[in-house]
Each structure stands twice: as structure tokens, then as C-alpha cells.
Structure 1
């Protein structure tokens, strides 16, 4: 086992023990300090980001990662806003809830507690270091960050600013640790196998990264998911609703987590409506694909390969497929979707209920855009990403996701 990785993780473990005893006000003040520090250091952070962008100019980095890597003032503004909103968010820790059981001659209750040490493994998207840190510190967790080499300068700049801000607070500076990207002793494998002290690993990025972490880790892993979301267009569904939902789901920047990439169309739908939809999407720069049946009807469509239906494009690409009805649609989605956010457009209450009941996805959207937002205006909930994982927490990764439950039994001594 790599000694440097063990040393970093143990420091985070000790910090987590201290954080668990801190008052909510102290953690709120720390988040306010971090938000102000990032806001003041934006020029230095953007300059570091320019170094990373210049370093990857001659590389074969995918365009997707280049878009994720390129920080903008607007993305930093949103990051500062999220940290500020987290600082005034009501504290879920120690929240008392009724227990689901009671013992004789005693009273039982449950309360939320910090998980402890969170390892966050991410590629590009440098502002996620600050957002993940904010979520963890708000509920009393320490965090270990493992970023990608493509963002080495930006990651270091952001973390240095946050650590300097922590020095002016009552929180331990080791509450936040960035592991070196290029040291074999702190490699991904060395980090995610520290199950003695790491309570949860969250990988964030392309499916290859998430799968790699899940294969290597001996610590618990919360899988995140991105793309390969389905929409079922029922026979009575409105064309304009379908068009709006697809376009809106792709509008999240920089990572369109819940982008609709596959559309199943009821055979009873008028194909002339599909032509109108496709023309509209092409005008917006979308690449369109179809199954064999649709390609025969519309030769201008690119043929979707068999493996396309089960993997995300992570681009402005949409594939269409004809299905005989809602049962076939739900069966197909349950088999091929990433399972975190799928949708239906229908004018039938019965269809909407059947779709919601039969689908295995974490979130189901009925005539509503699945667009992902980390900090929605209509809610005080902040989300890091989406999880399609059964067995731990599904759906939006929020403050409550980073907690656990303690059950307390108060007896009378008899």
C-alpha cells in the first residue's frame, strides 16, 4: 500500500473527526470565506486555466474534455454563488427524525451524521473541486481531491485559494487535500483502496473513469452517471413539447448531465411530425441517427449502431427508434438507458402513470424537461451530480447524500 496515499488519507480522517464536532455556524463561516477567496482570486484561477488550455493544444484530448476544462467568468460566478447558498443552507446534521422502530421501556430516534472522509475523483471541470468541497464541509465531511492531469494548474490554483481561506477559520486545513496528479505513490489505485479510512468514493466524469474507479475501489463507491437519457414520445404527445424537452435538456453548461440522447417514438405517431422535429434539431447543430426501420424511411439519417443504445454520446447527438407501444418503450429503456433520468411526452394520464410505475430510473419526467442544474433557482437544494446506483442513494447527489443515519435508543435502565 502506498505510504504517501495512506498519509494523506489519514490526515483527512483526523480532520473528519474534528469536523464532526464543529458547530454549523463555524462551517457556514468557512464556506463564506472560501466563496470570498475564490471570488477575489478569479484572475489567478483563470490565468492558471489558460496554462492548462495551452498545454493541451497539441494533445489528442477529446473536444468534450476541452469544453469541460475551459473555465469562464460565468462558471466561476456560479461556483461562488453555490458556495454562498450552501453557507446559508439549514444544517441537516443532528437533525432528529422519528425512528422506524421502538423498544419496550425506551424511546428511539434517528439523526443524520457526517459520513466522514469523501474521496472525489474527477476529470477536467475544475470548479467541481470547490463545489464538492462546499458540500462536504457543510455537513462535516473532509474531502480528498484527485483531479486529472489536464487541469493540474487550475486544480492547484483553486485548492490553494480554498486552503488559504481555511487558515482564517476554525476548521482544520487538512479538511481539504488535493492529491498530486503525477505521483505513482498517490495514484488512483492507491487512493481508492484505502478502505480503512475512506467512507465513500465519488468518481465524476466520462463512463470510462467511473467504471475504472468502481473496478479498483475497495472503499464504497457512489457511481455518477451522465447522458444516455431516453424520451418516449407517446402517440398523443405534442411535437413542441418533445422539441422543447430535447433542446432544454442539452442546455446545461458545461456538462449536460441529463441530456436526452435517445428518443423512442410510438408507431402511431405521425412521421411528418418527426420530420419537422428533425429539421428543427438539425438547424440547432444536432447530429441525428435512427434505427434500421427509420433509416429506410428517412435515408438522410445516420444508422445507429447496436451499442449506441446503451452508451452516452455526451455530444449534441440524438438517436431515434420506433416502438410498438408503452410496454415496449419501458422494457427498452430499462434495458438500455443509463437509468438516472428518463422522460415521456404524452396527453394520457394512464400512460404517464404506467410509465412512472414501470420505469426503473432514478428520476422520471412527465412532460417536463430533465435538464440538470446544480443550483436550481426554485429550490435551496445544491447537487453535485446524478447517481443511477441502486443500493445507496439514487438521483441527485445533495447534502443529504453525503450523510448517514445514526439510531439512538434512550432507555430507563430496566
Structure 2
């Protein structure tokens, strides 16, 4: 579809912007057709994609890539088919721009209303996790945006094959050239060069470890939508339902391969029964979790816990490690969570409706779960919702990253022609 790997970065972004302008005349039914065609083309290339992924995995072993990245990189047939299913779901959804929204305020005495509109040029900078390119492409094309993909070197071959399939599909339905571009990391396209193209890029989405998010945020001059992963907290109040506690913790890790909302820190009410705590520790160790704790708990349960270092209360583990701490009450738990959690998803287990309301209102978090697993789903079969990830930043894009995240609002004022 294009030769973006041969072009300077400013030319690439300018081409993406021009493609976005051209997409303005494309109707919703045609965008849906394009998303459907991407799914069809990926199915045709499924074996080639998996072979490329096998090659990337072999190279990664030789390069001693961290285990976390290897897990993210390994694109199983199930993961690939799930991403294709997401495209098929997006293709069936109504055009997001059909709805007219009531204006939040009156600009003049004329008729006022708001309309969702495409954002423009979106750049996805992602670490391994090759299926993210598929999901983001579906969200971007469905909403009439241009997309620039910049993956990590570990997934170079997989990313290239996926991008080629997506580009061919868009060619098949006569979409503008350069509406989807892929920047191979090995071709010298630096993250810093891309994220400073604010003249043409309207939104940057980094997805990966905190180090990647920090790098993008540090250099970007274009708007950044920070995704969050890990370091979610659970406060175990005076609830006696141990089975619920076990389920919520373990189920939060079941999003494969990136358990975005995995509970990594657990705050325990100081009046919680010792035998219940012991049974929880035993259960988690049987599930191959590594358990850490504060000094009080380590002294009381030395056979279960290792001492956590203080800085780790505010950092994600991104593996099967959980740290425990004793707190006096709900207010102490909320204060600790607001100070140390990543602020994108936190959980409460309680028998008290009042505690649930207080936790929901006072916890500084994009998502709050009360007596419910915070497990993250990109797509629930049978639903109409597709999510790329979760943003923990404040503002109108906080929370689940969905179709609406790829849009902006235009306010329209219609008069009668009278002065």
C-alpha cells in the first residue's frame, strides 16, 4: 500500500494526514466493509502470521528477551483468532457518527447540538503484543481515522506480516493510500522522532511496560493517551467470604497475555481472621503466586511471605507476584491506594453497602470494582463493546479505551438566517 519505511518521518505523518482528509467522504457502511475485509485478509494470512511469529520467538530466545516480553510476543492461534473476531464485531456495529448528541450548553439562541467526529491521525506505539495492531486498526478505520503503527523489534516479522495484510485489505476496498502505515523499528524510526510530529498526529497511544509509557510521555509534543497496566489494589474489608476473595484475585489474572487489571497488592483489615489469611496464602501459593508482605505480616507469616521493598508499593510487578499489607480501616486503605496505586482499576471486598459507596466515591481510580472481579476483557462474546486497554490519566479519555476514544466532539450551531 505504501513505502513508509523509505520515507522520512515527517513525510509519513503528512501522508497519513492527507489520507485522513480523503477519508472524510467515506460513509459508515464503507468503513464497516473495510474492517470486514481486514478480517477476511487476516484469515487468509493466518498461517503466514503464525510462522512469522515463530521466527520472532526463536530470535528472541537467542537475544535473551525478558520472559514478560516473550509471553506478550507469543501469538497463539487463539489470540489471533480472537483479534479477528473483534474486527468482525466492529464491522457489524452501527456507524458511531450517526448519533446526534444534545449540546451540553447553549452557545447562542440558535439551535445547538453536538456530533461525534474522527480524531485524525493516530499513532500506536506498542511493545510486543502483535494483535494490538489488528484491534487498533479496526477501531481506527471504523471511526474514519488514519493509523500509524510502530511496534517493537522483538515482534518485527509478525508486525510486518500483519501490517501488510491490513494494508492489502484496505487496498481491496479502495481506501486512501497511507491511511494505515507501518514503521519498522529496525529501519531507524525512533520513538522520539514520531511523537514530536504534532503538526499532523492528533493522538499517540503507547502500550507496554511503564518504561515505554514514560519514554513516550517525556518526548511527545502531540497528545498522549497513557494506557495503564498492573499495580491494581484490593482492600479486603471485614468480609467473611473467603471464596470470593480467592476468586477475585485469581480471576483478575485471566486476561491473556496481558492481565491489565491483575490485583498485585492486597490491603487486609487488621481485624481479619488469621486462619482466613493463612488459607488465602496457601491457596495462592498452590496457584504458583509469589507472595510478599509488610513487616507485620512477614513476622506473622514467615513461611508464606517475603519482605517487600518500599518502592514496589507504587510499581507494577507484571508477573504472578502479590504483596500484602495490614491497614486499620477503610479510610486508611483508600488513602494508601490513592497514594500508591496506578489509579486505573482498584477493588473492594466488603459486606457493607456504605463502605462500597464510600470506596466508589473516594478512591482516585478510573474504574472501581466492589465485590466483583476486575478482570479486563477486550471483547465479551455477544456484547457490542470492544476495548483496547485502560487509561489512568485524568480528563475526558480516562477509563476504558473504546470506539468513542477514537472520536472527538464538534458543536454545531444552526440559525434561521436572521440577525
Indicate the TM-score class for this superposition, using the shorter chain for normalisation. Answer: over 0.9
Indicate if the aligned counterparts of 1:222 and 1:392 stay in contact, CA closer than 8 A: no
Alignment counterpart, residue 264 of structure 2, candidates 223, 246, 261: 261
Deviation of 1:173 (Å): 3.4
C-alpha separation between the residues in 2 aligned to 1:337 and 1:81? 33
Q: CA–CA distance in 2 between the matches of 1:393 and 1:214?
A: 16
Deviation at 1:94, TM superposition (A): 4.5
**Superposition pairs for residues 60-139 of structure 1, below 5 Å?**
60-139=64-143
- Distance across 1 between alignment mates of 2:99 and 2:200: 25
Pick from 298, 312, 315: which aligns with 2:316?
312
Three-state SS of the structure 2 residue aligned to 1:265 is: strand
Cα displacement (A) at 1:3:
6.9
How far apart are residue 103 of structure 1 and its match?
Answer: 4.3
Q: Quick one: distance in 1 between partners of 2:240 and 2:195?
A: 46
Partners of 1:390 and 1:21 in 2: CA distance: 33
Residue equivalent to 2:251: 248
Give unmatched runs, 5+ long, in structure 1: none
Whether 1:197 and 2:200 are equivalent positions in the alignment is: yes
Q: Do 1:26 and 1:171's aligned partners in 2 also have CA atoms closer than 8 Å? A: no
Q: Partner residue of 1:389?
A: 393
- Note if 1:281 corresponds to 2:288: no
Could you tell me how far 1:391 is from its partner in structure 2?
2.3
Flag as ranges the 4+ runs of structure 1 deviating above 6 A: none
Q: Secondary structure at the match of 1:263?
A: strand
Structure 2 unaligned spans of 5+: 1-5
**Hey, what does 1:363 align to over in structure 2?**
367
Alignment partner for residue 151 of structure 1, among 155, 158, 164?
Answer: 155
Counterpart Cα distance in 2 of 1:48 and 1:307: 39
Aligned with residue 235 of structure 2, among 232, 253, 256: 232
In the alignment, is the contact (CA less than 8 A) between 2:347 and 2:372 conserved in 1? yes
In structure 1, what is the Cα distance between the partners aligned to 2:62 and 2:115?
52
Q: Is the 8 A contact 1:340 1:362 kept in 2?
A: yes
1:300-339 Cα deviation digits (max 9, x unpaired): 2110110111000000111000000000000000000000
Once the two structures are TM-superposed, the CA of residue 175 in structure 1 deviates from its matched residue by 1.1
Aligned length: 412
Contact 2:160 2:184 in 1 (8 A): no
Compute the displacement of 1:379 (Å). Answer: 2.8
For residue 22 of structure 1, give the secondary structure of its aligned residue in structure 2.
coil
Instruction: Name 1:330's counterpart in structure 2.
Output: 334
Contact 1:263 1:318 in 2 (8 A): yes
- Is the Cα–Cα contact under 8 Å of residues 109 and 407 in structure 1 kept in the other structure? yes
Q: Deviations over 1:38-70 (max 9, x none)?
A: 111110000111111111112231100000001
Partner SS state of residue 235, structure 2: strand
Structure 1 residue 354: Cα displacement: 0.8
CA RMSD of aligned residues (A): 1.2
TM-score of the superposed pair, with normalisation by structure 2:
0.96
Provide, for residues 230-272 of structure 1, a one-character-per-residue CA deviation record: whole Å limited to 9, x for no partner: 0000012521111000010001101100000000000111021
Distance 1:287 1:178 in 2: 39
SS of 1:173's partner is: coil
Structure 2 contact 29–95 (Cα < 8 Å) conserved: no
SS at match of 2:228: coil
CA separation in 2, counterparts of 1:258 and 1:359? Answer: 16
Shift of 1:19: 1.7
Query: CA separation in 1, counterparts of 2:264 and 2:25?
Result: 45
Q: Label 1:237 to 1:378 Cα distance change in 2 as closer, same or farther (>3 A).
A: farther
Conserved? CA contact 2:206–2:225, under 8 Å: yes
3-state SS of paired residue (1:223): coil
**Residue 12 (1) aligns with residue 16 (2):** yes
Q: Is the 8 A contact 2:228 2:390 kept in 1?
A: yes
